[in-house]
Structure 1
């Protein structure tokens, strides 16, 4: 019995890369009809996986303390209830800094979900490995550190030009070139030019002093920039192909890549490469600042809060949640960092895994309202608002344009977050980096070249 592609489709198979090989084998071996069916069984798609009838368990480590927070918390819980029906999920948690992002069923900022044998790109988001690094510089003048760091860092869109790029590690380049998710010219080019850049939004360079020792500390907050965004885009595309085949009922944003596939293992390796790059992205800024100051670091540690952590066949997706348990961090060198806002201390914490926290803490203060809502709620000039909210602090915007949606009032009450951390057992504060000042991108789009061009035309 001769077999062609049309016949295979009539037999209920979807066209795939395996068609030519299967047809060649069947026809060259002149299989009988029974033998053909037996042979093709290996290619028959698995039954589609339905959504869970009830949401998988998730712990709620957040309480509303006013009407605005009530709306926020209800929205977060409602989104988690939809999200936790995704068939791969077995557990989850919401942190005190949780806030919704995207449509219902999307993992909120401040959310942790545990998947069995599956990686969900949409649950670590485009800003893969968004993270915080601290360097203890000893007894150095905070203003001098901020001035030097300001001359070295880079905020805003795009990357560095060739004359200001940092030297790229060859061992990391070798790993990138060996990974099918990362080995393309666009990805490699962005990895080179974005090294030593901090982007925009809520990313910052913060200078303060240790409450315990009085030493000056430098803290940076940013993720994997365009390098990670390229992987995220590719990962979401691959996950969508699996979703269509395995679980079309699952929401697109919750599509997954099965870990036991070639794609799953390569994606996991790609995530680890992104992690290495992001750590290096912090290090080059810190090291360049130390070198220009002419001082040696006394201590350094870091942690990510937008990542996937593996334990056996379980994958912990932390969207804006800080890992407490050392098992999640292969290069752990110190406690964890939780920034709140530019006028509040960066918390240095330690903690243990409990049934409530699943091994995680909050990543910051979170938001109760969108940037647009916050902007509309403020009265007065941006200069007046900045002065009122950051008295005594040296606050700088790299673009020289104030972004009021990053001021303290844009975020949840820091004291509330700290109280709920203590109430729900989400980490113990062992030191604080008291604020001296910080640098953020600011409203870099206000005077972007294309906007100036349009204004000139008008």
Structure 2
């Protein structure tokens, strides 16, 4: 077998940023994995990129994972507060020690004002997934995360519900024709959309360098838990905010974010933040930028552009499919997670970071999905201060990707899909339903935070792979 050879463009295709991590990854794989196929090596590197925290302790692959971290640079040194700000925990019995520990540390940051941990919480990078942190005039790039503006979008169509079964092949073809998945996926011809004409792309040097690739990725979806799926939307009673008559409809639900644009923004500005503020090792990736300084306002501008870009990606997908179906949606519901907002909390102006958490202000609509076989929920927020007007963003993982791959059999996976009547296009064992918490348990733990105004049941699911 020929020795492994990886090129920089191979890594860029799967989403690697233009940083030293590219040369580190090539060196590690060609030295220690030289008998692997290119495909197998790239899959390993993709897994590291998606969850670097899972590989930090690995004596070999840890070198690549650590290269995703910004270099430690000199700056003003800060210590954690002895006592962290108090934070509410919802569904504590189902949240692992890792996520709790990460939240306790974040609550001790000098800029922390308030926090909350959602019932779908699990360990992440920076803030835990499901972590909410309010800060005083400061934004934490890794408190937002690399997939800036990751988003849910639901289009509800007045199509007979039975058509999903009767015309399964038609809806399957629509998903296959209108979507493109993968960390490095991009179209050969760029989609036309006003977002790409934003002046912001030309006003910030980093964004200028990312513009061409962002345009070719517009309307694509990532890997991991990103999906586009058809299913049934059920509404049991009229709600004045949702404004849908009771009934069963065909729905199109998508979940994805800002692609390589968001990842590059996150890594670049985290590097800047760490160069200005040195924190203890266990929280050094939670360095912040003040919104009184140029770098902080520049990140804020870039973050908001990435959020709008993520929204545009969903708009392209939904418009394309709606056009093919010859229908316009009766109703569209969408919401960000992995974002930071200016809000008022208990009378104080704060920056609220929601890392894998759904905005749940009073009467704010959102979507909380389950797994590929479990129902999702259309919710209306109650604006509860204890949760900083937030709710879970999904079921939440109970197994890491590597644990799922090692413990779930292909037979059990296919059996579960058949039992649930779900057709899967792509997807893998790392996203099997068994890898996720029970969405019904998650919803019970936050019944005081949101009201359920509709449900979504998956029928045809498209994912990477």
Q: CA separation in 2, counterparts of 1:87 and 1:390?
A: 51
Deviation at 1:46, TM superposition (A): 11
> Normalization by structure 2: what TM-score?
0.75
Equivalent pair of 2:146/2:263 in contact (CA under 8 Å)? yes
Matched, 1:411 2:436: yes
Aligned-pair CA distance for 1:158: 1.9
1:244-287 deviation digits (Å, cap 9, x = unpaired)? 3xx56782211011110111112111111111111110000100
Alignment correspondent of 1:337: 367
Assess if the C-alpha contact under 8 Å between 2:183 and 2:259 holds in 1. Answer: no
Match runs of 1:133-152 below 5 Å: 133-140=153-160, 141-142=163-164, 143=168, 144-152=170-178
C-alpha distance after superposition, 1:124-183 (max 9, x if no partner): 1111111100111211533333431221100113233333x3114266442311234422
* TM-score normalized with structure 1 length: 0.76
Q: Report if the CA contact (8 A) 1:61-1:96 is conserved.
A: yes
State the match for 2:31 in structure 1. none
Q: Hey, what does 1:32 align to over in structure 2?
A: none
Which residue of the other structure, out of 390, 415, 426, is the alignment partner of 1:387? 415
Which of the numbers 339, 354, 373 marks the counterpart of 1:318? 354
Counterpart position of 2:424:
396
User: Is residue 2:327 matched to residue 1:295?
Assistant: yes
Counterpart-to-counterpart distance in 2, 1:394 and 1:248:
47
Gaps of 5+ in 1: 1-44, 327-331, 443-458
Alignment coverage as a number of residue pairs: 371
Question: How far is the alpha carbon of 1:74 from its aligned partner?
Answer: 2.6
User: Are 1:207 and 1:438, in contact at CA under 8 Å, matched by a contact in 2?
Assistant: yes
8 Å Cα contact 2:232-2:248 kept in structure 1? yes
Choose 276-285 or 432-441, whichever is displaced more. Answer: 432-441
Q: After the TM superposition, which of the residue ranges 368-377 and 300-309 deviates more from structure 2? A: 368-377
SS at match of 1:162: coil
- CA distance in 2: counterparts of 1:99 and 1:418, whole angstroms: 16
Who is 2:313 aligned against?
281
Aligned 8 A contact 1:172 1:273 in 2: no
Whole-Å separation in 2 of the counterparts to 1:167 and 1:383: 43
Q: Secondary structure at the match of 1:348?
A: strand
Q: Which runs of 5+ in 2 are unaligned?
A: 1-73, 236-246
Aligned match for 2:146, one of 109, 123, 126: 126
Shift, 1:375, TM fit: 2.3
CA contact 1:386–1:404 (8 Å) conserved in 2: no
Work out which of the two has the higher radius of gyration on C-alpha atoms and give 1 or 2. 1
CA distance in structure 1 between the partners assigned to 2:423 and 2:451 by the alignment: 28
Q: 1:79 aligns with which of 87, 96, 102?
A: 102
Q: Which residue of 2 aligns with 1:261?
A: 293
User: Is residue 149 of structure 2 the alignment partner of residue 113 of structure 1?
Assistant: no
Q: Give the secondary structure class of the aligned counterpart of 1:215.
A: strand
1:322, 1:363 within 8 Å by CA — same for their partners in 2?
A: yes
